[in-house]
Structure 1
Amino acid sequence: MKLIPVKPQSQWFPKPMIMGCEGVAASMLLNGAVSPEKLMKYWPKHDSNPEKGYVGHPSSISLNSHQTIFPSAFVPYLKQFDSNIADGTGASLSELETLLDHNQPVLIYHTHLGFTALERIFHTSDGKKHWVSNIHITLLIGYDKKYYYYIDPLWMKIGPLLLPALFPSRRQIMKMSRRRFKKSYETPGRLCIYKKEGV
């Protein structure tokens, strides 16, 4: 089993950022060197296309837009804080396991809690875009023969209960079967961000 020790952070603490999983996961990827609040305050923004910047506001839900920021816009921004940040879009899970073996966690876009992908057509200033709408950004930190392990900025588990992660906790470390995680990661398009040093 491989499990990288990363200090969990929460979208709910110290103030709720219910649509800010990208910023919280990125802060964990950067080892907490930059706070989620700072990352989200200055990241690139766009009115409708997450390929060009964050759409919406992290503290509120916008129903008619794809409220996220994709690696194409996020990676150039994150390079300001660490030049080794790389866009891993297209990487297979076996390739991501190699990164984990080198103690490098991976910011990963996958369907929320491994649910079936919900595909939608979004109207952007660049035309119609076909995207998986129920994505969630987490930090992949480990794997074994049966599961992948990740830190979920939004949720925590106490026994069988899934609860909002109102404060940072090791209970935010989730596991998902390899088969389910593979589908959850691949359906939205194998979107991920990592640090390329030492690989």
Structure 2
Amino acid sequence: MKLIPVRPQSQWYPKPMIMGCEGVAASMLLGGAVAPEKLMKYWPKHDSNPEKGYVGHPSFISLNSHQTIFPSAFVPYLKQFDARIVDGTGATLPDLEKLLDHNQPVLIYHTHLGFTALERIFHTSDGKKHWVSNIHITLLIGYDRNYYYYIDPLWMKIGPILLPALLPSRRQIMKMSKRRFRKSYESPGRLCIFKKEGV
């Protein structure tokens, strides 16, 4: 079993950022060197296209837009904090296992809690876009023969019970079967961000 020791952070603490999983996961990827609030305050924004910037506000739910920021816009911004940050979009899970073997966690876009992908057409200033709407951004930190392990910025588990992660806790470390995680990751398009050593 491989499990990287990363300190969990929460979207609920110190103030609720219920749509800010990207910023919290990125802060963990950066080793906590930059607070999520700072990342989210200055990251690129866009009115409708997450390929160009964050859409909406991290503290509020916007029902008619795809409220996220994709690696194409996020990675250039994160490089100012660590030049090793790269857009890993397209990487397979075996590729990511090799990173984990070298103690490199991965910011990963996948369907929320491994649910079936919900596809929608979004109207943006760049035209219609077909995206998986129920994505969630977490930090992949480990694997074993049967499971992948990740830190969920939004949720925690106490036994079988799923609860909001109101305070940072190791209970935010979730596991998902490899088969389910693979589908959850591949459905939105294998979107991920990581630090590449030697850059």
TM-score grouping bracket, smaller chain normalisation: over 0.9
Give the unaligned 5+ runs of structure 1: none
Which amino acid in 2 is paired with 1:134? N
Correspondence for 2:97? 97
Correspondence for 1:10? 10
Displacement of 1:59: 0.1
What percent identity do the matched residue pairs reach?
Answer: 90
TM-score by length of 2: 0.99
Aligned-partner Cα distance in 2 for 1:124–1:118:
18
Displacement of 1:32: 0.2
Correspondence for 2:84? 84
Aligned-partner Cα distance in 2 for 1:143–1:160:
20
Aligned-partner Cα distance in 2 for 1:18–1:196:
29
Which amino acid in 2 is paired with 1:192? C
Change (3 A) 1:144 1:198: farther
Displacement of 1:39: 0.0
Pair 1:181 & 2:187 matched: no
Pair 1:169 & 2:169 matched: yes
Displacement of 1:60: 0.1
Does the CA-based 8 Å contact 1:110-1:185 persist in structure 2? Answer: yes
Pair 1:44 & 2:44 matched: yes
Correspondence for 2:122? 122
Change (3 A) 1:43 1:57: same
Correspondence for 2:194? 194
Correspondence for 2:24? 24
* Partner-residue secondary structure (3-state), 1:18: coil
Displacement of 1:119: 0.1
Which amino acid in 2 is paired with 1:188? P
Displacement of 1:183: 0.1
TM-score by length of 1: 0.99
Which amino acid in 1 is paired with 2:88? G
Displacement of 1:198: 5.2
Aligned-partner Cα distance in 1 for 2:151–2:160:
17
Does the CA-based 8 Å contact 1:44-1:74 persist in structure 2? Answer: yes
Does the CA-based 8 Å contact 1:102-1:198 persist in structure 2? Answer: no
Please list the CA deviations of residues 142-171 of structure 1 after superposition, one character each: whole Å capped at 9, or x if unmatched. 000000000000000001100000000000
